[in-house]
Structure 1
Amino acid sequence: MVENKSVRILYMEDDAGLARLLQRKLQRQSFSVEIARNGDDGLATLGKAPFDVVLLDYSMPSCDGIDVLRIMAECKTSPPVIMLTGRGNEKIAVEALQLGASDYIVKDVDMGYLELLPVVIDQVLQKQQLIREREQMLKALQESEDRYRRLSAQLERMVLERTEDLQTSNRELEVFCYSVSHDLSAPLRTINGFSEVLLEEYGDRLDNAGRRCLSKIGAAATRMVQLIDALLDLSTMATDEPRLEPVNLSDLAGEIAQELHDLEQQHKVDVRITGGMEVEGDPALLRVMMENLLGNAWKFSRTLPDACIEFGKSFQNGEMAYYVRDNGIGFDLGNSGKLIELFQRLHLGDEFKGIGIGLATVQRIVERHNGRIWAESEVGKGATFYFTLSPIAN
């Protein structure tokens, strides 16, 4: 219910007696009512002071209720209007409502219109309040949408700028890496070359300790060159977009196994490969991945008299996974997290050589193909590396 004391009503009525009657009736209910004798006076009064409701007589001289409604319709800030008429004409009611009147009531004392009018006024004011609240909500919503669009556009610009900065940084890093590689590799190869010359031409003038020192210098230089090359390959994998096409992992594994056998024919390793394993991926990157996985399996199982490597596939947690399994020396699964960190090696010593980048490279390649990799192993019981890739759709 609207508080009547705060409601100001303008009543346009040419019948002075009826106007005073309705005025006293409403004022007894605490409404504030001002009377205008005709439409022209009413419009002039509206221009001077604000009102909450307009009671508008339909039939007035010079400027009737319909004329007033047409004029008020041109003003967006006009208060709600209740049309009053002594004629119960449906056509008048429809015309008034079409022109913007909020309600319509027949001035029939027998029908109790004086008692009904305060209720109608209250309903009109409540409706007006709801309209204002709706407009405020729509305005707030529009402002929120505008703010969201501005923030989205700003975020998009920031992402584009950051992406461009990152691409620029990657290009600069790539140039820097190749420059460093060239600057470091050249003197290292020189050190290695002169170490070999010293051993070949002056080795007889050195004792065993001197020759061992030169051998270690040459081996360290060679290892450093390999490390630099591996780091460069790893950085390239982080920036180059994979070129996706069908790749037969079974055939690829067979080629790599044959290459490993040709390099170390003295080691007998039983390699078992499941046929027909096809995936979608970058052929060059997947070869590097398989070389690392099969190379590790070969390295850590080759000293066994019954060395065996298996490359196959199986369902793991509802998805197809490929695996490389060996029966070699294995590792402590508690340290498996270190396997894919740069320069981490779980097997030290000269028996199992490496630079600690192979599995980090494998992980990077798998992630570049939106896959994942994990391991299962026990010390002395071999190791299994699982990885997921996108299979070829049948």
Structure 2
Amino acid sequence: MGDDAAKYHALFDQMAQGAFFQSADGTLTDVNPAALDMFGLSLDEFLGRTSMNPQWRVIAEDGSDLPPERHPSMASLSSGLPVRDFIAGVFNPLKESFRWFNLNAIPMFRPGESTPYQVFVTMHDISRQKRLSDIHLSRLRVVQYAAAHPLDELMTKALDEVELLTDSTIGFYHLFDSVAESVSLKAWSTSTLDNFCRVEDRVRQYSIEAAGVWADCLRSGKAIIYNDYNSLPHRKGLPPGHAPIQRILVVPVQRHGEVVAILGVGNKPSDYTESDVDAVNLFADLTWDVAQQKQMQDKLLAKRDELKEANELLEQRVSQRTADLQAAIRERESFSYSVSHDLRAPLRHISSYSSILIEDYGPELPYEARTYLDRMRGAANQMGALIDHLLELSRVARATITPEPVDLSAAAGAILKMLQETEPHRLVCQEIEPGLTVQGDIHLVNQLLGNLLGNAWKYTAKTSFPRIAVGKTTISGKDVLFVTDNGAGFDMNYQGKLFKPFERLHGSEFDGVGIGLATSHQIVERHGGRIWGEGAVGKGATFYFTLGG
């Protein structure tokens, strides 16, 4: 062997990757130590074999047997093309399990020949990555399954998945009650129920002392592996119908430092290992968490159903209340119609006949009789005014709100100008903050301002230097509008009566029927805002209001 060949073979032997050569007829001609370890074979067992050797157990990524002609080396030899990143599982007799490889096969040609004389194959052990991927996919399937299935079916599905991962034929899940020192069966795998355990009288809850050797996991709080079940001196007898047990693996589920459940698998064809413990641990925790979540979801669904029933009942009550309210509105409208038409006519008659009597028979009537007729006519007119204001209050309660931007400064200026024109002899200091805007129904907002400014104008009539102001301030971090004056004011002890109909805080020295502020309160409430007043006798009053945006 030349120096170059010696160097090449030394490098070949020291490769961390597995590598081997296979001749055109499929015979294995050379192999490095890494590959022998991966295959679990000695050099003598390996050399001279072919892909057709019946001792090979090769499976595809989906777990199906891989025919020899589909082995990467044979596919490359037959096609003359490289085969890259081929995933396959090969049974390792020393490990008694399949090991998974990423295989690359490169055909080699002699000069001038178009058919490969051999193939060079490299192999990278991906068993750990494959197992982690399988675990991840299994966990994902369980989580997805949980969305559309009840808890019992979910538990069985999880046990079926962990059986598949560990190549087991037994799977069980028990809950542990540390106070009662008892366990209760939560679920068995499909294969356990169908093929393994056909015990007729299945006890679902029993004490730890009556449990089998798998209860050692509860006593120790750690995972246990018994690969030689029949050698255990403390094993208990199996009930009729229970299949024999060869080996078992049981892991605890712990929460807040205490064991709450256990998950067990059994009868793997080969010994259980720490790798199996890791996989079962992951599923034990996942199953507990998903089960807890599922129970919470079931409770939420039950609550949702209760809420749905409550909502349906509420909708019925709302419908009934709406019908009652509509009936009340119709009655109120009917009443308003009656007030407007049926009461106005006799009042007009009283006022008219009183005026006719005074005009036609005034000189003939005693002074006292004319006085009574004047009072009668005045009372009728006052009652007519009361009816007008009541109808106005009723209309405000029924009016449709059409929100739009309202220039409050301009509206206030227009109202004060109108008031000034009615009493041009009065000199009133008027202060209106510019740029005041609100969102509201323009007609109702104008009516609100008309009432507040009308009151301010009225109650400053006897003030030496009257002042009325409209502006905006900040109270408790919120913008608040106000109308203020330095007129008669009011006693704050009677503040609660401000917005009640017909409640007047002043005597006959000021005109009015006590409806304006009640109407203002109704308008503000219809806009989702609030209104309140502050004042002092002889020192004026301020009315603050918001319109709810």
Instruction: Give the TM-score category using the shorter length.
Output: 0.5 to 0.7
1:182 to 322, 341, 355: 341
Cα gap change, 1:263 to 1:175, in 2 (>3 Å):
same
Give the match's secondary structure for 2:481: strand
Query: Which amino acid is 1:103 matched to?
Result: V
Give the match's secondary structure for 1:280: strand
Query: Which amino acid is 2:448 matched to?
Result: M
Counterpart of 2:351? 192
Counterparts of residues 295-374 of structure 1 (less than 5 Å): 295-349=454-508, 351-374=509-532
Counterpart of 1:104? 266
Counterpart of 1:259? 418
- Larger strand percent: 2
Higher relative contact order (CA 8 A, sep 6+): 1
Q: CA deviation at 1:247?
A: 1.2
- How far apart, CA to CA, are the structure 2 residues paired with 1:275 and 1:267? 23
- How far apart, CA to CA, are the structure 1 residues paired with 2:184 and 2:520? 79
- How far apart, CA to CA, are the structure 1 residues paired with 2:527 and 2:404? 12
Tell me the TM-score normalised to structure 2 length: 0.49
Counterparts of residues 98-137 of structure 1 (less than 5 Å): 103-104=265-266
Q: CA deviation at 1:133?
A: 9.5
Give the match's secondary structure for 1:257: helix
- How far apart, CA to CA, are the structure 2 residues paired with 1:203 and 1:302? 35
- How far apart, CA to CA, are the structure 2 residues paired with 1:5 and 1:234? 74
Cα gap change, 1:103 to 1:376, in 2 (>3 Å):
same
Cα gap change, 1:6 to 1:255, in 2 (>3 Å):
closer
Give the match's secondary structure for 1:340: coil
Equivalent residues of 2:408, 2:436 under 8 A apart: yes
Equivalent residues of 1:83, 1:103 under 8 A apart: no
Deviations along 1:346-374, whole A, 9 cap, x unmatched?
1011x211111110111111111111111
Work out whether 1:204 is the aligned partner of 2:366. Answer: no
- How far apart, CA to CA, are the structure 1 residues paired with 2:363 and 2:380? 23
- How far apart, CA to CA, are the structure 1 residues paired with 2:373 and 2:542? 39
Work out whether 1:172 is the aligned partner of 2:331. Answer: yes
Cα gap change, 1:88 to 1:245, in 2 (>3 Å):
closer
Equivalent residues of 2:497, 2:503 under 8 A apart: yes
Counterparts of residues 4-43 of structure 1 (less than 5 Å): 43=198
Deviations along 1:28-60, whole A, 9 cap, x unmatched?
xxxxxxxxxxx79x74x62xx4444999xxxxx
- How far apart, CA to CA, are the structure 1 residues paired with 2:407 and 2:346? 41
Work out whether 1:271 is the aligned partner of 2:430. Answer: yes
Cα gap change, 1:157 to 1:276, in 2 (>3 Å):
same
Equivalent residues of 2:247, 2:267 under 8 A apart: no
- How far apart, CA to CA, are the structure 2 residues paired with 1:339 and 1:203? 42
Deviations along 1:171-225, whole A, 9 cap, x unmatched?
3321222123211111111111111222222222223322222111111111111
- How far apart, CA to CA, are the structure 2 residues paired with 1:285 and 1:268? 28
Cα gap change, 1:102 to 1:252, in 2 (>3 Å):
same
Query: Which amino acid is 1:277 matched to?
Result: L
- Matched positions, count: 304
Equivalent residues of 2:487, 2:538 under 8 A apart: yes
Equivalent residues of 2:452, 2:483 under 8 A apart: yes
Cα gap change, 1:160 to 1:84, in 2 (>3 Å):
farther
Cα gap change, 1:305 to 1:205, in 2 (>3 Å):
farther
Query: Which amino acid is 1:358 matched to?
Result: G
- How far apart, CA to CA, are the structure 1 residues paired with 2:377 and 2:242? 104
- How far apart, CA to CA, are the structure 1 residues paired with 2:373 and 2:529? 45
Equivalent residues of 1:85, 1:107 under 8 A apart: no
- Larger helix percent: 1
- How far apart, CA to CA, are the structure 2 residues paired with 1:194 and 1:347? 32
- How far apart, CA to CA, are the structure 1 residues paired with 2:469 and 2:410? 14
Work out whether 1:387 is the aligned partner of 2:542. Answer: no
Deviations along 1:70-101, whole A, 9 cap, x unmatched?
xxxxxxxxxxx987544799xxxxxxxxxxx9
Deviates more, 1:155-164 or 1:374-383: 155-164
Counterpart of 1:246? 405
Equivalent residues of 2:246, 2:266 under 8 A apart: no
- How far apart, CA to CA, are the structure 2 residues paired with 1:131 and 1:389? 50
Query: Which amino acid is 2:265 matched to?
Result: D
- How far apart, CA to CA, are the structure 1 residues paired with 2:299 and 2:470? 62
Q: CA deviation at 1:339?
A: 0.9
Cα gap change, 1:88 to 1:191, in 2 (>3 Å):
closer
Give the match's secondary structure for 2:319: helix
Cα gap change, 1:5 to 1:365, in 2 (>3 Å):
closer
Cα gap change, 1:52 to 1:223, in 2 (>3 Å):
same
- How far apart, CA to CA, are the structure 2 residues paired with 1:374 and 1:381? 17
2:318 to 140, 159, 165: 159
Query: Which amino acid is 2:367 matched to?
Result: N
Deviations along 1:308-338, whole A, 9 cap, x unmatched?
2112222222222221111111111111111
Unaligned runs of 5+ in 1: 9-38, 56-80, 90-100, 112-127
Q: CA deviation at 1:240?
A: 2.3
Unaligned runs of 5+ in 2: 1-175, 186-194, 206-210, 213-240, 250-262, 273-286
Q: CA deviation at 1:390?
A: 5.2
Give the match's secondary structure for 2:498: helix
Equivalent residues of 2:248, 2:265 under 8 A apart: no
Counterpart of 1:375? 533
- How far apart, CA to CA, are the structure 2 residues paired with 1:138 and 1:273? 60
Highest Rg: 1 or 2? 2
Cα gap change, 1:106 to 1:286, in 2 (>3 Å):
closer
Counterpart of 1:31? none
Query: Which amino acid is 1:259 matched to?
Result: M
- How far apart, CA to CA, are the structure 2 residues paired with 1:88 and 1:339? 85
RMSD, aligned α-carbons:
3.8
Query: Which amino acid is 1:313 matched to?
Result: K
Q: CA deviation at 1:274?
A: 2.0
Tell me the TM-score normalised to structure 1 length: 0.67
